[in-house]
Amino acid sequence: MDINQVPTHSDRIKLADIDPYLLSIEGPANDETSAYVVIKVANTDDHRRRDEILRQKEVRYLNRADEALVFAEIEKPTESEKAEIAVYLALHEAGNLSSGALALFPTLPVRKMQYDEFLELWRSIPLDISHAIYMAVLAVNRAWATERLGQRAQLRRLR
């Protein structure tokens, strides 16, 4: 098999195709005005970076007097944190998404943005839109959906 034949990006994925609520806001689908995203197909390095960032962390609580360990707990990443890093690593293009006259994402692909700058922007997006973008990321990179869905087959591929 020639690995150069494996796609590196999805086709345009219309957000209204993912979320019927967005379709009701946007109106009939139109290639020129419909909000869409193009998602990078994750490679092995993307998986490694995602896993490294989302690794469970041990939090230790110490007694101030003698620095003795009182207890420790494992801190797991939240669904929101998983969504943020997945979108950061995979959102390649976002079309017809704006805030007033400004493009929603001033730098594309978003992985070229500083992570903190991305998070500030991402966390300001209405939940319906951010959820649709995340669902597009998971549809293209189904391996990232396994913890969320339990099985890869439960998520429809949108490429």
Q: Look at residue 124 and tell me if it is in a domain.
A: yes
Q: Which residue has the higher pLDDT, 18 or 27?
A: 18
Over residues 71-117, the pLDDT tens digits come to 778 888 889 999 999 999 999 999 999 888 889 999 999 999 999 99
Q: Look at residue 69 and tell me if it is in a domain.
A: yes
Closest by CA position to 50, among listed 153, 154, 146: 146
Q: Look at residue 159 and tell me if it is in a domain.
A: no
For residue 42, what are the domain limits?
3-154
Task: Enter the DSSP assignment of 142.
Answer: G
Pair 21, 52: CB distance under 8 Å: no
Closest by CA position to 75, among listed 94, 93, 58, 63: 58
Q: Which residue has the tokens 């230790």?
A: 60
Question: Alpha carbon 150 to chain centroid distance?
Answer: 18
Q: Look at residue 91 and tell me if it is in a domain.
A: yes
Count of structural domains within the chain: 1
pTM, two decimal places:
0.82
